[in-house]
Amino acid sequence: MQLDPSIFKAYDIRGVVDSTLTEEAVRAIGRVLGTLAIEAGAPSFCVARDGRVSGERLLGALIDGISSTGIKVLNAGAVPTPVLYYATKHFGNGTGVAVTGSHNPPDWNGLKMMVAGVTLFADKIQDIRRRAEAGDWITAEQPGEVESVDAVDPYIEKALNGIKISRRLKVVADAGNGIGGPTLLALLSRLDVDVTPLFCEPDGTFPNHHPDPSKPKNLADLIAKVKEIGADYGFALDGDGDRLGVVTNTGDVIFPDRLMMLFAADILTRHPGEPIVYDVKCSRRLVDWIAEKGGVPTISPTGHSLVKAKLRETQAPFAGEMSGHIFFNDERWTGFDDGLYSAVRLLEILSRSDDPSETLRSLPNAVNTPELQIPMNEGEPKRFIERFKSECKFDDAEHVITVDGVRVEWKDGFALARSSNTTPVVVIRFEGDTEEALKRIEKRFTEEMRRVEPTLRLPE
């Protein structure tokens, strides 16, 4: 069969339902995934879905495909992606798929996949495409058993183990009508916290705002509610619950790289001298902060799957990326990205403070640009970045890092250019300790980009 190549992304599988991502495609992918699980010796296969309108039928097609290989399927139902990740630990198979469109528009959906403890990305995802198109899968004489399982209660028990709330806080929790709302409220109901829920009922049409906390416009309702009721702070989840956004009582957005400072400082009190993983988009201030707190700053390419791979390689106790994926890998949690658990850990840390919002605001900050995009034709961004890597000259910089694009660090800021793994654009971002530093770094970096490629059309 022929599958739309556009659905096979760098970190997961994603597409427009019934257009690029069809039930037939999901069923074929399920057959390959079941085969991969059997080949890896997995005893069973966990599955789940988020709250999107198309979720139930795509999950049905996925289960058909996986079970046709003969492997047992454990269906956790409609739960956040982190609950699915935890299910693979709880049931001891290390193998699972979440049917989720994450923060994409309502007519999209997709698959986040792991087999035998390894999250699938890049070449492994392309291999799924190759095998699905070739019909390279196992077909059993009898389909595997499909069992409905409860993963939420075990997840909650594990998540709350060891959490100590020092004083009662007033918080607003905005789930954006994603699937994370009910589980988050169930978690918080077991803790000493005054919580005001906002859009915590799953609704795959997302009638209030889009469930993507990385975009400040999606935090407007949360900020308004926090101010209205005088909450200590507010937090927001994305559509499938694996990312976290945070705002203060005055409406300041605490971007994830600053939030990671708070988490890293706490982790390093118990794990001194260990690596802390961050992605190439994160602030230079975070790098310095980790070192000052006694950790080893460890850079990773962008992408939740790639950060997980770096986490597995380094055995770091903590990792995070600028998009809001946060990974606790210490004695209390199990190394996957989890917005719900991160919210609980944040509650624990901030409950020790007399002024939680001031604790958040006082984290080191810098002056930076949002992500800027240079649109190109398909295939051109990667070619340009390879040229830029080989031809650029930054003798005045402290470091030139090429793990994912080109990140150039000066003592007072950094510049980044990388090829997006999801759309045909070059992404650039600049940061400086001051406005003057930011302008100098932006000018220096863009002039070098134009020297390498004079026809480049930079965003204004």
How many of the other CB atoms lie within 10 Å of CB of 246? 27
Cβ–Cβ under 8 Å, residues 69 and 38: yes
Cβ proximity of 373 and 298 under 8 Å = no
Question: Could you give the CA distance from residue 34 to residue 40 in angstroms, rounded to a whole number?
Answer: 10
Q: Give the pair of three-digit tokens for residue 425.
A: 């654009």
Count of residues in the chain = 460
Q: Which amino acid is at 211?
A: P
Distance CA 68, CA 77 (A): 19
Long-range contacts of residues 385-389, Cβ cutoff 8 Å, at least 24 apart: 385/417, 385/418, 385/419, 385/426, 387/452, 387/453, 388/417, 388/449, 388/452, 388/453
Distance CA 152, CA 165 (A): 22
Q: Which of 92, 118, 131, 166 is nearest to 350 (CA)?
A: 166
Could you give the residue numbers annotated as active site? 14, 102, 325
* Contact (CB, 8 A) for 121 and 306: yes
Which of 50, 59, 120 is CA-nearest to residue 304? 120
Among candidate residues 292, 286, 269, 245, the one with its CA nearest the CA of residue 349 = 269
